[in-house]
Structure 1
Amino acid sequence: MWKIMMTMLIFSQPLHSNALEVEEDLHIQLQRGEISQYGMNYLDSLFIDQKKLEYLMNDLNKKIYKQPVNAKYADNGAIIPEKPGITLDRSEFESLFKQLYYSNKDNDIKIPVAPVHAKVDSGLLQEISVRELGSYATFYRETNKERSYNIALAAEAINNTVVFPGGTFSFNDTVGQRTPERGYKKAPVIVRGELSEDIGGGICQVSSTLFNAVDLKGIQIIERYAHSRRVPYVPSGRDATVSWWGPDFVFKNLYNEPILIRAKAVNGRMIVAIYTSETAEYFTGKSK
């Protein structure tokens, strides 16, 4: 079939204004016999089977794709700049492939790549960090090491999350499945009104703290469930229970600007603050 050849070179020109550097000059080696397999069956060889070519490009993109990384705040308050990703430039690759297909020569194709820009760059992050919309803090016992660790892990997962205008935030989608492989530990949880132990115990304090921070004008609560018994870290009726295979906490941003979630759990204090830009306005029309 085909294989990727990699040599340690650098593109002579940056791919965009952020000077994306790609340290691998990628080539795909296609022999003449392999190239001919992309012709249409039972038809003149002048016709390329587009479905086969699409399959080749899809498979190739899986091997070279690099996801962009959003800008974020470090623990010391400094901004860590965004990192662009790369993807296959499909139109350019298709053009190069066709040139090789019709040339009747054995040759390599230099894989053309295109930048994948991060959704949140340093400029946007600074802009939406100016105005605090709301905040909330809860407290926990540090002596319960496993529960404290779970709280800190989930807080880190939602920290630096940006929700764009009209976009929704899902706690389960953002935090992900709570498993030992991802670092979560067994700690007390409430199951059908009874105390038990399970992986990820304690993260409902994170979702409940978040709920109280975002329960304000301009944020639409879409999905929230209360525990089957009262929890000690928030007032009655102000909790938001979550479970990977069950309840989720979901809200929608109704502002005309993105909102930023800052979350931290340290020294027995779980705090969430919500920020946006100075120019943010609440949508006065009917929400969908």
Structure 2
Amino acid sequence: MRKITSFILCIWLLMVPFQSLAKTSEEDEPVTLKRAEIEQYELSYTGGTFVDNTKLNGLMDMIEKKVYKEPQNAYLDDNGQIVEGKPGETIDRNKFDLLFRKAFYNKKIAHMKVPKRPIYPRVDKAMMTEISKKELGSYTTSFRKSNVERSHNIELAAEAINNHVLFPGETFSFNEVVGERTEEKGYERAPVIVRGELTEDIGGGICQVSSTLFNAVDLKGVKIVERYAHSRRVPYVPPGRDATVSWWGPDFVFKNLYNEPILIRALVRDGNMIVKIMSSETAEYFTGDD
């Protein structure tokens, strides 16, 4: 009976790979591979002589999804104070490959700890300090706070673009940065303009955010790549100064032609939608290929 139980247990271990990769309640608990898991990656019909590289790469891909932590960029809070960024982490694939092969060929190694490496934030405190010194442009529009749903949508979209850093030569897409406007993300039904008619839809009001942004970034060092006007006049900007956006339709896209990164500050205060474009003191228009 004991032999049958042991046999079943061994089969179960082989048929359920990666079970030991699950993390415990401690976020930084080491992730390990057990001996039974390591031995599953031998190349077929070689009697344990070679590692199956295809399966091994698949294993690393799976582990990467489990251990990956996205780094957090430094940012400015609502009071303009810098909040320091935090590094993330991922699997160290080179070190993992070496340790795995060592464990694979050494039967005395009972388990293997998955090595990790840090991922440093793209924008650290030092960079945020530099690119928040000089205001390149700004624009403010107003809205009625009494329209609660529309005001809420404006706040959500403004929060999505706030503290976004665009490096030299990079392109900003409003739809990509803000993402799809859905009820799951908190967006509500509010007035929108569709084919010249005023109606209601999820995310109504965010065009005021994109239009305010357009007027703020309409600078010599910024190339407007894609912009569309509404099919009828909107009240929050002068005629011809709007930028309509829709998830399945128009987008607002621009490119940074400055020699330094630019920082988008988007704030909602007392019925005002405020966008400021910041950069370092040395920011100037780059006359190279745009």
TM > 0.5 fold call: yes
**Does 2:204 correspond to 1:201?**
yes
CA RMSD of aligned residues (A): 1.5
Q: 2:41 aligns with which of 38, 42, 51?
A: 38
TM-score, normalized by length of structure 2?
0.90
Aligned counterparts of 1:173 and 1:196: Cα–Cα separation in 2: 24
Q: 1:5 to 1:163 in 2, by over 3 A?
A: closer
The answer as to 2:186 corresponding to 1:183 is: yes
Which sections of structure 1, spanning at least 5 residues, go unmatched?
Answer: 10-22
CA distance in 2, matches of 1:107, 1:45: 16
Shift of 1:31: 2.6
Describe the superposition over 1:197-256 as per-residue Cα deviations: whole angstroms up to 9, x where unpaired.
000000000000000000010100000000000001001000000001110000000011
- SS of 2:211's partner is helix
| Structure 1: distance between partners of 2:270 and 2:22 | 51
Map residues 1-288 of structure 1 onto 2, 5 A cutoff.
1-2=17-18, 3-4=20-21, 24-32=28-36, 34-43=37-46, 45-287=48-290
Are the aligned partners of 1:30 and 1:106 in contact in 2 as well (CA < 8 Å)?
Answer: no
Q: Give the 3-state SS of the residue equivalent to 1:132 in structure 2.
A: strand
> Shift of residue 27 of structure 1?
3.2
> 1:47 offset after TM fit, Å?
1.4
- TM-score by structure 1 length? 0.91
Q: CA deviation at 1:58?
A: 0.6
The 2-side partners of 1:235 and 1:49 are apart by 64
Percent of pairs with identical residues: 61
Structure 2 residue runs of 5 or longer lacking an equivalent are: 1-16
> CA deviation digits over 1:70-105, x for unaligned, max 9?
111111221111011000011111111111100123
Give secondary structure in 1 for the equivalent of 2:275. strand
Q: Distance in 2 between matches of 1:93 and 1:115?
A: 14
Q: Give me the whole-angstrom Cα distance separating, in 1, the residues matched to 2:163 and 2:23.
A: 35
Deviating above 4 A after TM superposition, structure 1's stretches of 4 or more consecutive aligned residues are: 5-9
Following superposition, the deviation at residue 44 of structure 1 comes to 5.3
Question: Residues 87 and 118 of structure 2 are in contact (CA less than 8 Å); yes or no, is this contact kept in structure 1?
Answer: yes
CA distance in 1, matches of 2:110, 2:33: 7
**8 Å contact from structure 1 (residues 139, 233) kept in 2:** yes
Deviation of the 1:281 alpha carbon:
2.0
Q: Is the 8 A contact 2:266 2:274 kept in 1?
A: yes
Give the aligned length.
Answer: 273
Cα contact 1:134–1:216 (8 A) shared by 2: yes
Larger Rg: 2
